[in-house]
Amino acid sequence: MHELSTHAANHAPPQSFLRKYVFSVDHKVIGKQYYGLGLLAVLIGMVLSWLMRIHLVWPNFAIPGLQWLSSAGAPGGVITPEYYLQLMTMHGTLMVFFVLTNVPFAGFGNYFLPIQIGAEDMAFPRFNMMSFWVTFVGFCVLVAAFFVGDGPPLSGWTAYAPLSAIPGSGPGQATGQTLWAISIATFCIGQLLGSLNFITTTLDLRTKGMTLMRMPLCTWAWFITSCIGLLAFAVLLPACILLILDRVAGTSFFVPSNLVVSDQLVNLSGGSPLLWQHLFWFFGHPEVYIAILPAAGIVSHILVNSYRRPLLSHKAIIYCMMAIGFLSYMVWGHHMFLSGMNPFSALVFSFPTLVITIPATILVLIWIGSLYGANLQINSASLFALGFISMFVSGGVSGFFLAQPSIDVYLHGTYFVVGHFHMVMGVAAIFGMFAGTYFWAPKMFGRMMNETWGKIHFWGTFVGTYCIFMPFHYLGMIGNVRRYSAFVDDYLQVPQPVSLLGLHFSVSPIEVHEFISIAALFTGAVQLIFVYNLIYSRFKGTPAPENPWQGTSLEWATSSPPPWDNFGGRLPVVYHDPYQYGIEGASGDFVMQNSSEHIQTVREDKKVI
């Protein structure tokens, strides 16, 4: 176990600027690079969402300067219906791939996984550097789609065939769609390299005394996520290659016979658009948990520190995350209830979709149940961790409806689905990112973030996201179709009766959309508080002590920020489980993992060791 660890860090500290900050093999620098890339991607994605929300409620409003980005898609600054779909495609792709995957898994995981298991670096430092730069190339290729030909693709972040497989099938479906496929294929390569590195590091580089069950919960989450990603991205990569071949080499893996596009018969046959859906969603639903599980692990790690007592069951959380990872590969068909699949197949996919809620529910019950008797410490990190639970539950409950084929047939094409996956996958994971940032920024940058600004950021974000995404469920239930760039149907203009908290009033769907757009602009502006807090604290924040939160895991056993080899040339020895809080007879209210202090620990099996 330790021979590979010594070899992994057997490279001298960098001397040049390029080797230290750009082409670095230090896992901590690479983690910051992933985080920075995710921050850039989320800012671009947020601006795109602003543009879409403005166009939805004020379709004739001229957005200054937008015509410079696309004279055809936004003549005079007014977004066309086609360009709206192109913005939607880029927003979804950036957020799902380059934000929700990058930050909680690759960003925080790269920085903290080696430290938390007592290693000096990742198992393959150069592979680690390669994984980031391959991902960065994928990001650049995707963004380049804004500046070529007729702009980015309009096939959505799912890129359904045959729309995505036939060049010239619509605006952005020429070079833009090809760049999209190249970008995602490149991204898959980077994630596969990263997943292999995470798995090897976790299994082979643990320090003395660090058994698997002594690993922190976030380390377990990163390990399980890397196992999920190793299979998921290995499926999406060849799917993207086949899509590229359909577009540039004249193959027809996803193009069916007798297809007519723009009144022209496509001279291809033999392909299946459903094949793309199966391949994509076999990756796509595990991708939900590639985003959620790292956030769940981070939240668990923060909550147990904030509670100042162990969670009700450390092992149950680990086993539930394992169960979620395993079941995530059995439910992809629930995204395809409207594809014409056999009704019996729909029932087969519906059952595991309901079953996967059981381990997720156990996680929530442990998080909430552990509050009883806890000495909860309120800070920005714990607020966002608790907010994660709220978003996860609120968004997850609507999943019960979509798991039923008979109900999903009505709701699938509506804003109900938009509200569901934004809350349970998008906003919940982002709350986990914010929690991790406020919790670990002192360790990463050596300075504390401002708590007052952090709490203002939390409440503005918490209230704002509920104002945005909860009304989506209402709009979906009254039949408001998603992906429309403008609402001209008569029923959307008619006020509908609404009962809320005992109040009875009437509001039209258009007015609801106006409220959502204003809430989106407000919530996006609140994120500028976070950006300011992060940048200001990075350079002028209060210097952080070694262990500002009185944590017990190994990242708090080294300086802030850690040295080049994490522990100053002396690897720690682990004596305890990761969350020793409120221990009777201990010298304080917590005992660190590397402390040789003798304590009695009552395990879940009631044996005293």
Q: Is 145 a domain residue?
A: yes
The tens digit of pLDDT for each residue in 449-466 reads 999 999 999 999 999 999
Q: Same domain, yes or no, for 523 and 583?
A: no
Q: Is 607 a domain residue?
A: yes
Average pLDDT of the segment spanning 416-430: 94
Residue with tokens 């980005």: 69
Q: Same domain, yes or no, for 596 and 536?
A: no
Q: Give alpha helix (H) positions in 169-216.
A: 175-204
Q: Same domain, yes or no, for 492 and 537?
A: yes
- 508 Rama class: left (phi>0) / alpha (psi -120 to 50) / beta: beta
Q: Same domain, yes or no, for 386 and 475?
A: yes
| Angle at which helices 273-307 and 380-397 cross, to 10° | 140
Which of 10, 39, 38 minimizes the C-alpha distance to 25?
10
Q: Is 289 a domain residue?
A: no
Residue 582 has pLDDT above 50, yes or no: yes
Burial of 553 per CB tally in 10 Å (0-12, 13-18, 19+): buried
**CA-to-CA separations, 349 to 292, 332, 335, 354, 568, in angstroms, rounded:** 21, 7, 9, 9, 51
Q: Same domain, yes or no, for 238 and 349?
A: no
Average pLDDT of the segment spanning 366-375: 91
Q: Same domain, yes or no, for 331 and 433?
A: yes
The tens digit of pLDDT for each residue in 490-507 reads 667 777 777 766 777 778
Q: 260: part of which helix (H) or strand (E)? A: strand 260-261
Two structure tokens written together for 339: 């594809």
Q: Are strands 503-507 and 496-500 parallel, antiparallel or unpaired?
A: antiparallel
The tens digit of pLDDT for each residue in 337-349 reads 988 888 888 889 9
Two structure tokens written together for 24: 């670095």
**End-of-domain residue from the set 227, 244, 271:** 271
Q: Is 290 a domain residue?
A: no
The tens digit of pLDDT for each residue in 137-160 reads 999 999 999 998 889 999 999 999
Which of 579, 525, 449, 423 minimizes the C-alpha distance to 43?
525
CATH number at residue 475: 1.20.210.10
- 93 vs 41: CA distance, rounded Å: 10
Q: Is 288 a domain residue?
A: no
Residue with tokens 């997850």: 396
Q: Is 281 a domain residue?
A: no
Residues 6+ apart with CB under 8 A from 240: 181, 182, 184, 185, 188
- 143 vs 139: CA distance, rounded Å: 6
- 195 vs 189: CA distance, rounded Å: 10
Assign 586 a pLDDT band (cuts: 50, 70, 90): low
505, β-bridge pairs: 498
- 78 vs 72: CA distance, rounded Å: 10
Average pLDDT of the segment spanning 29-37: 96
**CA-to-CA separations, 232 to 89, 191, 281, 286, 378, in angstroms, rounded:** 21, 10, 9, 7, 37
Looking at the 3D structure of the chain, how many domains does it have?
Answer: 3
First to last CA, the chain: 25
Q: What is the percentage of the chain residues whose pLDDT exceeds 90?
A: 74
- 230 vs 221: CA distance, rounded Å: 14
Output the pLDDT for position 210: 95
Whether the CB-CB separation of 293 and 325 falls below 8 Å is answered with yes
Assign 10 a pLDDT band (cuts: 50, 70, 90): low
Residue 4 has pLDDT above 90, yes or no: no
Whether the CB-CB separation of 283 and 184 falls below 8 Å is answered with no
Residue 170 has pLDDT above 90, yes or no: no
Q: Is 17 a domain residue?
A: no
Q: Same domain, yes or no, for 213 and 249?
A: yes
**End-of-domain residue from the set 484, 510, 541:** 541
Output the pLDDT for position 464: 96
Q: What is the percentage of the chain residues whose pLDDT exceeds 70?
A: 94
Q: Same domain, yes or no, for 582 and 485?
A: no
Average pLDDT of the segment spanning 567-594: 84
**End-of-domain residue from the set 208, 239, 271:** 271
Output the pLDDT for position 603: 46
Output the pLDDT for position 494: 73
Enclosing domain of residue 589:
544-609
Q: Same domain, yes or no, for 443 and 565?
A: no
Please report the beta strands in 471-608, taking only residues with DSSP state E, as ranges in sequence order. 496-500, 503-507, 580-581, 590-591
3-state secondary structure of 585: coil
The tens digit of pLDDT for each residue in 198-257 reads 999 999 999 999 999 999 999 999 999 999 999 999 999 999 999 999 999 989 999 998
The tens digit of pLDDT for each residue in 36-85 reads 999 999 999 999 999 999 999 998 899 998 999 888 889 999 999 999 99
Q: Cα 35 from chain centroid?
A: 12
Q: Same domain, yes or no, for 517 and 566?
A: no
Which of 458, 447, 452 minimizes the C-alpha distance to 548?
447
Q: Same domain, yes or no, for 492 and 571?
A: no
**CA-to-CA separations, 300 to 206, 211, 313, 436, in angstroms, rounded:** 21, 19, 11, 11
Question: Quick count: other Cβ atoms within 10 Å of Cβ 584?
Answer: 7
Which of 600, 447, 464 minimizes the C-alpha distance to 521?
464
Q: Is 140 a domain residue?
A: yes
Q: What is the mean pLDDT of the chain?
A: 90
Q: Same domain, yes or no, for 247 and 227?
A: yes
3-state secondary structure string, 70-127?
CCCCCHHHCCCHHHHHHHHHHHHHHHHHHHCCHHHHHHHHHHHHHHHCCCCCCCCHHH
